[in-house]
Structure 1
Amino acid sequence: FIYKADLDLKKHKASDICSLIKASDELSIDVLNEHILEFVSQNANRLINEDPVQILQIIFQLDIFSNLRNTFLQIICDNPEKLVNFENFYTLDKYTLIQLLKRDDLKMEEVIIWYNLLDWACYNVRDEQEKLDLKEVEKWESGDFATLKDILKDFIPHIRWFQISGKDFWYNVKPFKEALPEELYDDLLGYNIDKSVELKSFVILPQRNKNKIPAKLIIFFISHAKNRMSKKAPIT
């Protein structure tokens, strides 16, 4: 017997659609895969708005969506708050987050990107009972910084460090000195004293965005990241 049914994906939530995508891929249902691919391509904004973490991870996990990856990243780059303010942002996988950080068109001030990365990294500490609190960094021990350094090491090359102002470096990067490569920190310190200093650790990456965000908004976003981190409950 052959059964046929109409599937209206518009009636389903993004999380349900993601579950269906996984099941369809595992079962290799070609007709359903084609239907889902068409729906996802036509409803990218809606899916991002509902569940940016799940949909991004699905897009990067399954080859069927390879041609849509740039489209979805572009949506996030234009409105990164949709992702970083999402309640489950910290569950985004490392690979997908790195793909986002590689983008030159990510429309967010670099110091805000840095603080959201810290937020993500602190929550992804392996010891669930010892989450690092960004609001109490002065209480951290050497082992805490070593743990953070290990989590951040693959992200470090993708941060546009030299787009961070001297003031933001002092207040928002310097406290995490022990989590950074020594040569990078020395370069940042030297660069903020003398812009003509010869850099030893990094090639300066292209400027990520040219439209500056007002200082008051930068302070707000950093404060928001700190407060969000302190409110998160440990994963059980």
Structure 2
Amino acid sequence: MDLSSEILKNFESLFESKENYDVIIQVGEEPNIEEIYAHSLVLCCQSNYFRTAFSSNWEEKNNGKYIFKKPNISPHIFEIILRYLYCGKIDLNDEQNGLDGLKLLMSVDEFGLHTLYEHIQVFMINNLKRFLQNDTIKILEIIFQHESLATLRNSCFETICQEPNILFGTDKILELSAELLELFLEREDLSLIEIKVWDNLIKWTHAKHPTIDTDTSKWSKEDSTLMKETISRFIPLIRFQDITSREFSHKILPYEDLLPKKLRHEILNSYLDPNMKQVELLPSRFVSRSFKMFPNGIYVR
């Protein structure tokens, strides 16, 4: 007979009542600090973080109560974790917010709750497409800054590369940091034909300098220099071998001053002589490998 449910129910009652608590956890930042009550014995049993904290005297003590301060965790997130520590329950549902899920995941990692961490990570990965629809940039920024989220970061990049409309071709691309944009453009699995990659890059570059005219014929020497400085790190990531001569003429030639002179000559020579191979270009993206490109600018699978 399994009697564990009754025991867990008793611990849940203890969690709800806070009876005989000896720990006060101050969570959140001003002006939203809340005090949450807990029992040191339960915390020590369930988390190495708290066991170390109590044994190393990290905490201060006041009137017989241990005082913890956790300003980096919201009251809502801490309550979720505390309920799990007492009775093994956590509610991850379809309404879960992607940003809240990330904050919960990082907090769980801080407390060393590895089993719970894996459970939440699987949930996040299974719902990534939905989460990324609403909070794309914030989610990407958070996972980029935290090495502990490497697995989730890889899944985010794979999801967006498979479904580039989540980010590319939208105004969200304009908010992307240069570091993140570079990581996307260097990937071979980005499912965009190369001229669309270029279009997005130009759109992003213009957004960094909104006072510069979109008509390149109106650029001053200073305008051209500034745009070139902004875009130069990304030029080696463009697979020009997968851009047709027609696309080059209409979309890239107006920006020819942004390209290194040697590269411009190589591209133009390749259009004049199809047998001439362009050098120092990255391999074609997977999507381009599935198409045959003709000089008239038509792609055929």
Structure 1 unaligned blocks of 5 or more: 219-236
CA-atom RMSD in angstroms = 3.0
Contact 1:123 1:132 in 2 (8 A): no
The reply on whether 1:155 has 2:234 as its aligned counterpart is yes
Spell out the pairing of 1:213-224 with structure 2 (5 A cutoff). Answer: none
Structure richer in strand, relative to its length: 2
Taking a change above 3 Å as real, the CA distance of residues 144 and 51 of structure 1, as seen in their structure-2 partners, is: same
Taking a change above 3 Å as real, the CA distance of residues 22 and 149 of structure 1, as seen in their structure-2 partners, is: farther
Contact 2:236 2:282 in 1 (8 A): no
Could you tell me which residue of structure 1 aligns to residue 282 of structure 2? 205
Query: Which of the numbers 176, 179, 186 marks the counterpart of 2:255?
Result: 176
Deviation at 1:10, TM superposition (A): 4.4
Aligned-residue identity in percent: 26
Contact 1:163 1:207 in 2 (8 A): yes
Could you tell me which residue of structure 2 aligns to residue 48 of structure 1? 132
Contact 1:52 1:83 in 2 (8 A): yes
**Equivalent-residue separation in structure 2 for 1:186 and 1:159 (angstroms):** 16
Please say which structure displays the higher CA radius of gyration: 2
Taking a change above 3 Å as real, the CA distance of residues 124 and 17 of structure 1, as seen in their structure-2 partners, is: farther
Query: Which of the numbers 9, 20, 24 marks the counterpart of 2:107?
Result: 24
Contact 1:59 1:65 in 2 (8 A): yes
Partner-residue secondary structure (3-state), 2:248: helix
Q: Residue type matched to 1:96 in 2?
A: L
**Equivalent-residue separation in structure 1 for 2:154 and 2:238 (angstroms):** 20
Spell out the pairing of 1:21-100 with structure 2 (5 A cutoff). Answer: 24=107, 28-31=110-113, 34=117, 36-100=120-184
Could you tell me which residue of structure 1 aligns to residue 201 of structure 2? 117
Task: Tell me which moved more, 189-198 or 110-119.
Answer: 189-198
Task: Tell me which moved more, 146-155 or 202-211.
Answer: 202-211
**Equivalent-residue separation in structure 1 for 2:101 and 2:239 (angstroms):** 35
**Equivalent-residue separation in structure 2 for 1:94 and 1:213 (angstroms):** 31
Taking a change above 3 Å as real, the CA distance of residues 68 and 14 of structure 1, as seen in their structure-2 partners, is: closer
The reply on whether 1:132 has 2:212 as its aligned counterpart is yes
TM-score (norm 1): 0.74
Deviation at 1:137, TM superposition (A): 2.5
Q: Residue type matched to 1:204 in 2?
A: L
Higher relative contact order (CA 8 A, sep 6+): 1
**Equivalent-residue separation in structure 2 for 1:37 and 1:161 (angstroms):** 38
Q: Residue type matched to 1:84 in 2?
A: F
TM-score (norm 2): 0.60
**Equivalent-residue separation in structure 1 for 2:163 and 2:220 (angstroms):** 36
Contact 1:145 1:176 in 2 (8 A): no
The reply on whether 1:165 has 2:249 as its aligned counterpart is no
**Equivalent-residue separation in structure 2 for 1:121 and 1:174 (angstroms):** 16
Deviation at 1:88, TM superposition (A): 2.5
Contact 1:52 1:86 in 2 (8 A): no
**Equivalent-residue separation in structure 2 for 1:51 and 1:95 (angstroms):** 18
Partner-residue secondary structure (3-state), 1:84: coil
Provide Cα deviations, 1:174-211, integer angstroms capped at 9, x if missing partner: 10011111111111111111123364xx4233221234
Query: Which of the numbers 268, 271, 276 marks the counterpart of 1:192?
Result: 271
Partner-residue secondary structure (3-state), 1:88: helix
Deviation at 1:158, TM superposition (A): 1.0
Partner-residue secondary structure (3-state), 1:173: helix
The reply on whether 1:143 has 2:229 as its aligned counterpart is no
Deviation at 1:31, TM superposition (A): 3.9
Q: Residue type matched to 1:196 in 2?
A: N
Contact 2:121 2:152 in 1 (8 A): no
Structure richer in helix, relative to its length: 1
Deviation at 1:138, TM superposition (A): 2.4
Contact 1:83 1:89 in 2 (8 A): yes
Provide Cα deviations, 1:111-156, integer angstroms capped at 9, x if missing partner: 110010111111123xxxx43343x222222221211111111111
Number of matched pairs: 207
Task: Tell me which moved more, 158-167 or 40-49.
Answer: 40-49
